[in-house]
């Protein structure tokens, strides 16, 4: 058993010291709903067949982590657990059968994997993977039903969303690890954003909605995902991008991302969708619901233009309530669809998307609003709770 503090110049544990052995390292462990993260020494097992162990360089916090930390969905709770699903890292070692990754590769973990072999992966119409797709119930590794994380007392610590990035080292299915161009590795801060928020938002605009030049867009909820939608719509040449949020402080951030008009629904004397229809001669071409609120979703749907309006659902909806749309409302030509990970197939399509972004098609630096050391993870969560941060990077 080796301590993960044996590092080479690039921050990676020396292979001769750690390959095939358990690593002792720090992880931020949550022991119950809403309880503070505890930074503790854990054991990380070596990767098994088709698995990869990576050294986490940077990780960031998303609203999905916030929801899981609060334990909002009881059926998905599991403790103790290592949360986190946005990160950049370096491959420390690979398990049997892994051929597309090797020690020293710069990588991005993804919660929505791509095995490349299942019926879904072989179809161009979807980015869902039957084996390693997004699964909030996932607590252990798929191959043997065991965890790769262990507390010092010998008890298992559960995995989260195929990733568990709030740890100095993590073990993932190789299907959930994307190799990036070494030239992009000079900026691991930017790479971290590709794990979830930016890819989800920009991809929703580019892939799911296929926003066209000169079109009109409304975005409901201006968190990191909503603002990534705005950045994606701006890059595609949308003529009007309406941002909707009850927090006015989001408007200045939105303007930098391409949002042209802002609406605070609490200040309106008429239904939100009516105001948007007035502003856009009958409704927007595309609306994006990023709030996880069914009442907001209905407003987003009704804000689109009859005949061709299209609504994309990005918010996570923990409520058991059903879709707030009558079937007959679809007969006037409006459409609606959900989007997971922006429609990107992670292993095969994310590397090219990363290149486009780094070349300036999408400006990513603006999404990083805070940076903190790993041990201040509780402060980082509070920044998100208070609506202060878009992405707070934790230096692991």
**pLDDT tens-digit map of 22-59:** 999 999 999 999 999 999 999 999 999 999 999 999 99
pTM > 0.85: yes or no: yes
Per-residue confidence (pLDDT) for residue 75, from 0 to 100: 76
Q: Which CATH homologous superfamily contains domain 198-342? A: NAD(P)-binding Rossmann-like Domain (3.40.50.720)
pLDDT at 16 over 80: no
Q: CATH 3.90.180.10 occupies which residues in the chain?
A: 23-195+363-395
CATH class of the region 23-195+363-395? alpha beta
pLDDT at 15 over 60: no
Q: State the pLDDT confidence band at 357, using cuts at 50, 70 and 90.
A: confident
- The answer to whether 334 touches 311, Cβ cutoff 8 Å, is yes
Per-residue confidence (pLDDT) for residue 6, from 0 to 100: 47
- Provide mean pLDDT across the span 335-362: 93
Q: CATH 3.40.50.720 occupies which residues in the chain?
A: 198-342
Q: State the pLDDT confidence band at 68, using cuts at 50, 70 and 90.
A: confident
- Provide mean pLDDT across the span 221-250: 95
Per-residue confidence (pLDDT) for residue 9, from 0 to 100: 46
- The answer to whether 57 touches 396, Cβ cutoff 8 Å, is yes
């Amino acid at each position: 058993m080796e301590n993960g503090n044996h590092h080479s110049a690039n921050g990676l544990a020396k292979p001769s010291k750690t390959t095939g052995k358990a690593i002792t390292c720090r992880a931020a462990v949550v022991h119950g709903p809403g309880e503070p993260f505890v930074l503790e020494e854990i054991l990380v097992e070596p990767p098994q067949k088709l698995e990869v162990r990576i050294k986490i360089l940077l990780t960031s916090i998303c609203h999905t982590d916030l929801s899981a930390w609060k334990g909002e969905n009881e059926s998905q709770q599991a403790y103790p657990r290592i949360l986190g699903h946005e990160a950049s890292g370096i491959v420390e070692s690979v398990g049997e059968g892994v051929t597309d990754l090797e020690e020293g590769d710069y990588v991005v973990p993804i919660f929505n994997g791509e095995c490349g072999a299942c019926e879904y992966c072989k179809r161009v119409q979807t980015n869902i993977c039957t084996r390693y797709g997004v699964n909030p119930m996932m607590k252990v590794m798929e191959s043997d039903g065991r965890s790769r994380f262990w507390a010092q007392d010998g008890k298992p610590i559960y995995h989260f969303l195929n990733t568990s990035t709030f740890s100095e080292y993590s073990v993932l299915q190789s299907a959930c690890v994307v190799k990036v161009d070494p030239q992009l590795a000079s900026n691991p801060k930017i790479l971290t954003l590709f794990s979830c928020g930016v890819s989800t938002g920009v991809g929703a605009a580019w892939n799911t909605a296929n926003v066209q030049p000169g079109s009109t867009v409304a975005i409901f909820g201006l968190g990191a995902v909503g603002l990534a939608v705005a950045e994606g719509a701006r890059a595609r040449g949308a003529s009007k991008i309406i941002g909707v949020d009850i927090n006015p402080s989001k408007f200045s951030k939105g303007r930098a991302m391409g949002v042209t008009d802002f609406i605070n629904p609490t200040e309106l004397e008429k239904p939100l969708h009516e105001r948007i229809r007035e502003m856009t001669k009958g409704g927007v071409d595309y609306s994006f619901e990023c709030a996880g609120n069914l009442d907001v979703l209905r407003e987003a749907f009704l804000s689109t233009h009859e005949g061709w309006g299209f609504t994309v659902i990005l918010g996570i909806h923990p409520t058991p309530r059903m879709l707030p749309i009558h079937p007959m409302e679809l007969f006037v030509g409006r459409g609606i669809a959900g989007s997971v990970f922006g429609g990107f197939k992670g292993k095969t399509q994310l590397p090219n998307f990363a290149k486009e972004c780094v070349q300036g098609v999408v400006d990513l630096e603006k999404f990083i609003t805070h940076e903190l050391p790993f041990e201040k993870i509780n402060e980082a969560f509070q920044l998100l709770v208070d609506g202060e941060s878009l992405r707070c990077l934790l230096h692991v």
